[in-house]
Structure 1
Amino acid sequence: MRDTFFCSVMCWVLILSLNQTYAQGLSLNQTTPLGPKQVIIKLSSGLSTGGFDSIDRGGTYSSLSAVEKVDFINAAENATGRTVTHVREMWGRADVFVIDGLTDQQDFADTMALLTNMNQIRFVQEDSIATTTVTPNDPQYPQQWHYYEPTAGMNLPDAWDITTGSPVTVAVVDTGYRNHIDMNSKILPGYDMISSAFRANDGDGRDSDPLDVAPRQIPGFGLLYHGIHVAGTVTTSTNNNRGVAGVSWGARILPVRVLSNVSGGTQSDIIDGIAWAAGLTVPGVPQNQNPAKVINLSLASINPSPCAPMIQQVINAADAAGAFIVAGAGNNDELASRRWPANCNKSFVVAGISRGADKAYYSNFGNLSEVDVAAPGGEDFTAAEGVLSLGGANDYVYLFGTSMSTPHVSGLAALLLSVDSQLTPQELRNLIKNNSRPFPRASTCDTTLCGSGIADAKLALEALSPDPGLLVRMVASYLPGPPERNARREYVLNTEQSPIINFYYDEASGSFQERPGGACHTGQNNQTYFMIKIDSPQVESCSFQASWDNQPIQCNENHLATANNGDWVIINTDSYETNPATCELFQPLRPLVPPDTHVWFEVNLEVDGEIYTRRMNFRKIP
């Protein structure tokens, strides 16, 4: 099955430039040029718009009257000594203004402080710029390793045995779309949300045509069409003997153009784009007739910036409207909490990993409160390490970056919604995060850097639709931890692997449990024990193993007799010293399991000639 999805097309990666030169490295950290600066202002209640409804699905926008507009602008100009011009209304009952006459960056900061202190203003923020999180190079090798390889892949071939997806709407809030033979049947009516005709580079401002237009030709490089590459990973015409595969074969793409290949995109346009994609009302824009269930944000702020009030509010509103927000961690090799939208609440943040499942050298990172999960992003534009998807001229290209990691997760969300269309954003977060695959032992990723694990389509879908073939009930000691130390919690393991569970226990104390037959019941160092109960009437053989053991321990006759009697079987494995099956000391003695690491306990059962594997994954916390 896997060979079906290999691509035989060799492609060239096309790139873009800001200010006629391309940044060497992963982040486009050019200083925003001074001159006219665009800002977002929300006026105080009563002056123009009244209170803010964070679930603003419609309603009216009570815009400033002509007199109020002049009065406010005069007040702002008197307060700052700078020219202030009203640009437009935007989603969330806020307005976009331009400030002119600035001398330098400090002057802009001083002006923002003066505006903040005005009684008429509820808050003001820079209408800062975001750009695509992709880094250029050249591609070669035509295989989508990121879908199927066991080390860093998404485990998609097995997932496709469960579902290949249905017409779930996924909004790609990005640079727009390109006509492509492998995508044309997937495109829903979108919108070009870029309000500046210059930035849009297509001859006008906002309109109903979100087509991605060619950037300036960069000598020695070429052109980049970012949005179609991202969309092609979410979905593309698949299993059609042409091109490449998408994560969800059945999903549909809602293209929302907010980024220009010339100069990125303003935060106000991005906010309006997110709102429109979720089906919320945006002033001056027709209502979206295909509200998205998933919104893909493969973009990040150019410079470090907190999640400003308006972008947090639109993410809250989109989430409340039922849209699952998936955001790239960013490509600056720094904390993901430094870049929006990854640092906004309710963004499901995706870090990038290499083909070897290490943290991609560019990927932003963070603990479990900053990064949710990792997905393949590649590390260069060769076929050996690039992510292969659609190009802008009916071709196929390799790109890499967290822009490429993010649509893997958006596509997975679409697969899950294909099975249960009523899943909420929070349920999707839990399914994908809790059913991620642990990082390989040698990986540079762990839960302090790259999220809960590697996004795994098969595990997430199996958790949603568990295999009823064999149920194993497992109990572990010292769960879930303070203030409930020494408590026991039961887990039903329907599939090969469990979610990752925080597992607390003390190395200094033991749990002395009597094994069947009364052997080895005194004084052992049983820091970790597990009990299982199996719903099958006849277990023919079994073995069990912990990640800190070198090899499985075979069940003895007492284990089998107890299991087949329907009773709880104690099959503990020690973190050091004693082999519970033989009562003999391990040689050499087992080392202690390091704290704050992913570990697992696994039982293998033979029932009616079939081998079933059930694994409990947990993170040891001291």
Structure 2
Amino acid sequence: MAHPRSRRLRALAVPLGLALTASLGFLPNAATAASPDAAPADGPQLSYVVNTTPGHATAGKVEKAISRAGGKVIVAHEQIGVIVVHSANPQFAATMRTVPGVQTAGATRTAPLKATGTTDVGKPQKVDLSTSQLAAAGKAAKANGQEPLEPLQWDLPAIKADQAAKVNPGSRKVTVGIIDTGVDDTHPDLKANFSARQSANCVGGVADTSKGAWRPWDPASDYHGTHVAGTIAAARNGVGVAGVAPGVKISAIKVSEPETSLFYAESVVCAFVFAADHGVAVTNNSYYVDPWMFNCKDDADQAAIIDAVGRAASYAQRKGVLNVAAAGNSGLDLAATKLTDSGSPNDSTPVERAVNPKTCWDVPTQLPGTVTVAATGVQKRKSYYSNYGLGQIDVAAPGGDSKQVPELPAKNGNILSTMPGGDWAYLAGTSMATPHVAGVAALIKSAHPKASPQEIQWLLKEQADNPGCPTDDATCTGTKHVNSHFGYGIVDALDAVKK
């Protein structure tokens, strides 16, 4: 998979209940600004975002300046004013910041294009149960009319998703776009609900909609998106597990680089725009944009990343898309006045730095309008690894916790879902919590087809059940109604279809 990625998608996906840790680094800005006509210099070829006033006229003028500065336009999203560029000119970003019409510009990475590397974010825990456990699960499933492995899914009754499915399993007119490592749409639990026409490979910034382009690069390591997909909408078809919204559609928008599984800004921008333009109702974002765990507004390159991804996310919201994102797995208080990031940039050499959460954002998690999700365990306590923060967390959902263990037949505190190749496995992380919320949001959209993203978010919060702060955990602050661990509470799938 990828690097100290543990954090997001990685952070997000803390397999086997392992806490994700991420680090931040420092990417210095160009020391001097150059004129728009400066001669390009030789350096590593990087990818950049150049953010302009939206519109064709401005884009045309800026593209000429890009060429003069030694850049090659890869794609221009004129509707949001974001241009993706490749350049080997070390002064490219500084030069573009002096061009009329350019509002922000910066590198989206610190390593050259096509850089590769490997890191381990933890191995999935396959369904390796004793004969007696499987027999007990099968007996319970048959007696209760459940999917064969559903008795091992403690997370579904935790948010009343099992009851909700009997009232309204979700509408086929509602699609959840999974912005992730790709999805194995051939999985028997997923293929009935998969929408190929709303799927693409956005790696590099240009949407590839050719058949199968959305599938994982390497099924053995890029399993994250497939696991997320099952939690959202695994079909109730007599096979394997069940999803929170088993009647809705899912699509895959792949944004992870091959080999490294890094999620760069240009790919994520493409994904939000693609989702918006292809009728997706909800996006699931169980990751953070690499190479920075936090992007700081006082760094010109990182400010450009916030700007570009923020424009794309806002565009999606204006087109009716609700964006749901993982809070992260580093156990951080996102409302603190200072945090330490020691893992960024994760595509080159990380450098420890102090960051101020008020000006340094986890993207897309902390973008305006995004639903930020914390993880809980079977005891309805915050998962030990989950980030938290008063005013930062919107809602919570089951993400798994190896320290909170359910009774038999499951006896595993993590989240069971689909894996590439027709398999199933347990994982844990805020990556696993987020698809529960995306699924409930899809149920709300199914019950209220005309609801806007803002209205769906209001309903998620209003219907959530808040257990309140544990008396033995001083990190939880706030009230019974809104607090740092659960936000407005743990989402409720049954209320989503009944209210």
Same fold (TM over 0.5): yes
Comparing 133-142 with 392-401, greater Cα deviation is found at 133-142
The answer (yes or no) to whether the contact 1:40–1:124 under 8 Å persists in 2 is yes
Is the partner of 2:288 in helix, strand or coil? strand
Corresponding position: 1:27 with 2:21: yes
Is the partner of 1:389 in helix, strand or coil? strand
Structure whose CA Rg is larger: 1
388, 398, 404: which one aligns with 1:365: 388
Alpha-carbon distance change, 425 to 305 in structure 1, aligned in 2, over 3 angstroms: same
Letter in 1 for 2:295: S
Q: Which residue of 1 aligns with 2:194?
A: 187
Corresponding position: 1:98 with 2:120: no
Corresponding position: 1:260 with 2:257: yes
- The within-5 A match list for 1:120-269 is 121-128=102-109, 135-136=122-123, 138-139=125-126, 140=128, 143-148=152-157, 153-167=158-172, 168-178=174-184, 179-189=186-196, 190-196=198-204, 207=210, 209-215=212-218, 222-238=220-236, 240-260=237-257, 262-263=259-260, 264-269=262-267
- The within-5 A match list for 1:603-622 is none
Q: Which residue of 1 aligns with 2:137?
A: none
Corresponding position: 1:276 with 2:257: no
Q: Which residue of 2 aligns with 1:301?
A: 289
Letter in 1 for 2:380: A
The answer (yes or no) to whether the contact 2:282–2:324 under 8 Å persists in 1 is yes
313, 327, 340: which one aligns with 1:329: 327
Q: Which residue of 2 aligns with 1:453?
A: 489
Structure with the largest fraction of helix: 2
Distance in 2 of aligned mates of 1:19 and 1:135 = 10
Deviation at 1:44, TM superposition (A): 5.4
The answer (yes or no) to whether the contact 1:134–1:399 under 8 Å persists in 2 is no
Cα deviation, 1:84-125, whole Å, max 9, x if unaligned, reads: 4433323623211234265xxxxx8xx745543444522113
Letter in 1 for 2:254: R
Distance in 2 of aligned mates of 1:316 and 1:132 = 32
Q: Which residue of 2 aligns with 1:39?
A: 48
Corresponding position: 1:73 with 2:67: yes
Alpha-carbon distance change, 40 to 185 in structure 1, aligned in 2, over 3 angstroms: same
Deviation at 1:374, TM superposition (A): 0.6
Cα deviation, 1:431-474, whole Å, max 9, x if unaligned, reads: 11122111255374550233111112223444x2xxxxxxxxxx
Distance in 2 of aligned mates of 1:312 and 1:371 = 18
Letter in 2 for 1:423: A
Is the partner of 1:390 in helix, strand or coil? strand
Alpha-carbon distance change, 326 to 404 in structure 1, aligned in 2, over 3 angstroms: same
Distance in 2 of aligned mates of 1:364 and 1:457 = 23
Deviation at 1:269, TM superposition (A): 1.6
Alpha-carbon distance change, 412 to 313 in structure 1, aligned in 2, over 3 angstroms: same
- Normalising by structure 2, what TM-score? 0.69
The answer (yes or no) to whether the contact 2:398–2:433 under 8 Å persists in 1 is yes
Distance in 2 of aligned mates of 1:163 and 1:192 = 29
- Identify the structure with bigger relative contact order (alpha carbons < 8 Å, sequence gap 6+): 2
Deviation at 1:256, TM superposition (A): 1.2
Is the partner of 1:213 in helix, strand or coil? coil
The answer (yes or no) to whether the contact 1:248–1:415 under 8 Å persists in 2 is yes
Cα deviation, 1:248-286, whole Å, max 9, x if unaligned, reads: 12001121112235222221121111111122xxxxxxx
Is the partner of 2:467 in helix, strand or coil? coil
Structure with the largest fraction of strand: 1
The answer (yes or no) to whether the contact 2:3–2:120 under 8 Å persists in 1 is no
Letter in 1 for 2:421: A
Q: Which residue of 1 aligns with 2:368?
A: 345
Alpha-carbon distance change, 98 to 451 in structure 1, aligned in 2, over 3 angstroms: same
Letter in 2 for 1:344: L
Distance in 2 of aligned mates of 1:20 and 1:367 = 25
Cα deviation, 1:339-380, whole Å, max 9, x if unaligned, reads: 110110010111112222222222222223x21001111135
Alpha-carbon distance change, 71 to 405 in structure 1, aligned in 2, over 3 angstroms: closer
Is the partner of 1:308 in helix, strand or coil? helix
Corresponding position: 1:423 with 2:451: yes
Letter in 2 for 1:272: C
The answer (yes or no) to whether the contact 1:135–1:399 under 8 Å persists in 2 is no
Letter in 2 for 1:422: K
Cα deviation, 1:374-427, whole Å, max 9, x if unaligned, reads: 111113599612111100010111111111111101111111222221111111
Q: State how many pairs are aligned.
A: 392
Cα deviation, 1:307-338, whole Å, max 9, x if unaligned, reads: 71222222222112111111111222224553
Alpha-carbon distance change, 173 to 49 in structure 1, aligned in 2, over 3 angstroms: farther
The answer (yes or no) to whether the contact 2:180–2:225 under 8 Å persists in 1 is yes
Distance in 2 of aligned mates of 1:440 and 1:20 = 31
Letter in 2 for 1:343: Q
Deviation at 1:36, TM superposition (A): 2.8
Distance in 1 of aligned mates of 2:163 and 2:26 = 46
The answer (yes or no) to whether the contact 1:439–1:453 under 8 Å persists in 2 is yes
Q: Which residue of 2 aligns with 1:89?
A: 76
Corresponding position: 1:376 with 2:432: no
- Normalising by structure 1, what TM-score? 0.56
Letter in 1 for 2:383: A
Distance in 1 of aligned mates of 2:201 and 2:272 = 10
Alpha-carbon distance change, 339 to 134 in structure 1, aligned in 2, over 3 angstroms: farther
Letter in 2 for 1:294: V
Is the partner of 2:105 in helix, strand or coil? strand
Alpha-carbon distance change, 18 to 170 in structure 1, aligned in 2, over 3 angstroms: same
Alpha-carbon distance change, 17 to 275 in structure 1, aligned in 2, over 3 angstroms: closer
Alignment root-mean-square deviation, CA: 3.6
Distance in 2 of aligned mates of 1:144 and 1:223 = 23
Q: Which residue of 2 aligns with 1:400?
A: 428
Comparing 451-460 with 393-402, greater Cα deviation is found at 451-460
Letter in 2 for 1:376: P
Alpha-carbon distance change, 124 to 380 in structure 1, aligned in 2, over 3 angstroms: farther
Deviation at 1:135, TM superposition (A): 4.9
The answer (yes or no) to whether the contact 1:329–1:342 under 8 Å persists in 2 is yes
Alpha-carbon distance change, 205 to 100 in structure 1, aligned in 2, over 3 angstroms: farther
Deviation at 1:243, TM superposition (A): 0.2
- The within-5 A match list for 1:507-586 is none
Alpha-carbon distance change, 135 to 455 in structure 1, aligned in 2, over 3 angstroms: farther
Is the partner of 1:313 in helix, strand or coil? helix
